[in-house]
Amino acid sequence: MINTSVILVVLFTTSCFSVPLPSTFKKCNRKEADFNKCLTTAVQDALHQLDKPHPEVGLPSLNPFVSPITTIRIGAGTSVVHFSQVIRNVKIDKFAEFSALNASMDFNTNVLRLDVEYPVVKFEFDYEIDGKILVMPIRGHGPENTSFEVIFTLEEKNKYYKVVNSTMVFKKLEAMRINLENLFDGNKELGDKINVVLNENWKGIFQDLKDVYQKLNSEILTSTFSKFLDKVSASELFGDP
C-alpha cells in the first residue's frame, strides 16, 4: 500500500505538474509578434542567472559548467587520431560570458536555434589516448573570438518538449590556446616544448579535433537542456499553442 502510493505520487508529479519557471526568468508567449526577440532576451537573461545552479528547473551553474556526462568515448578513426580516445570530466568556464547571443524557435518544425559569440571559452577535460591521461586545454584559454550555432530539433510529447537531436557547429574561431598537462610523466621542460609546438599548429589541431569538439558539445548541451525540458512543460515555457 505504501509502495503503491509512493509510485502514484511520483507518477503524478512527473507527468502532470510542470515546475514553474523561476520568477526572475523572462517568459515569452509563442503568440506574441516579436517572439524571437523576446526569446533572445529571455535566454540571455537566464544564462546570466546561471552563476549559481537552479536545481528546481534542472539547470546547473555555468560558473564553471561541469558536464553531466562524465565519460565520452570516441572510436578509433573518428578523427585523425587513430587511437580510441576517452574524454572525461569536462568542465567549461566562461560559458555564460558570451558577447552576443541570438535565439529563435520555429513552432512549425520545433527547431530551436542559438547563435552565440564568445571572446573566450575555456574547456578543461581529461583526455585519455592510448591509455595515457592528458589534461587539455587549460590554465591558458581554449577557443578565442569564437562563435558557434546550436540547433535543437524538439518534439512535443505529453505536454513536454523532448530533444530529438542536436548539432553544434563552430562558425568562427580566431585563436585557440592549448595546454596539455602531465606530458612525459610530468617532465615540465619537455612538456612546455610540446605545448609550444601544439600552439604554433593550433589551426591544424583544431581542424582535426573539430568534429570531436562539436559532437562533445552537442551531447553535453542536449543532456543539460533535456533535464530542464523534463521539468518545465511546453505551455509553461511558451504559453498554450
Q: How far is CA 7 from the centre of its chain?
A: 32
Rounded Cα distance between 102 and 95, Å, is 15
Rounded Cα distance between 204 and 123, Å, is 18
As separate numbers, helices (DSSP H) first and strands (DSSP E) second, the chain gives 5, 9
44 binds ligand NAG (CB under 6 A): no
Q: What is the CB neighbour count within 10 angstroms for residue 19?
A: 16
**DSSP3 helix / strand / coil % (the chain, rounded to 5):** 35, 35, 30
Rounded Cα distance between 176 and 99, Å, is 17
156 binds ligand NAG (CB under 6 A): no
Residue 100 or residue 133: which is nearer to ligand NAG going by CB?
A: 100
- Name the grid cell of 125: 577535460
36 binds ligand NAG (CB under 6 A): no
Rounded Cα distance between 63 and 78, Å, is 31
236 binds ligand NAG (CB under 6 A): no
Among 67, 79, 85, 147, binds ligand NAG (CB under 6 A): 147
Binding part of the chain for ligand NAG, among 16-24, 80-88, 160-168, 197-205 by CB under 6 A, reads 160-168
- Name the grid cell of 190: 619537455
169 binds ligand NAG (CB under 6 A): no
Among 89, 165, 187, 207, binds ligand NAG (CB under 6 A): 165
Binding footprint of ligand NAG, residue count (CB under 6 A): 13
7 binds ligand NAG (CB under 6 A): no
Among 117, 156, 219, 230, binds ligand NAG (CB under 6 A): 117
Among 18, 41, 63, 153, binds ligand NAG (CB under 6 A): 153
Q: What's the closest the beta carbon of residue 175 comes to ligand NAG, in angstroms?
A: 3
Residue 84 or residue 167: which is nearer to ligand NAG going by CB?
A: 167
Comparing C-alpha atoms, which of 223, 179, 192 is closest to residue 58? 223
What does the binding site for ligand NAG look like in residue numbers (CB under 6 A)? 100, 102, 115, 117, 144-145, 147, 153, 164-165, 167, 174-175
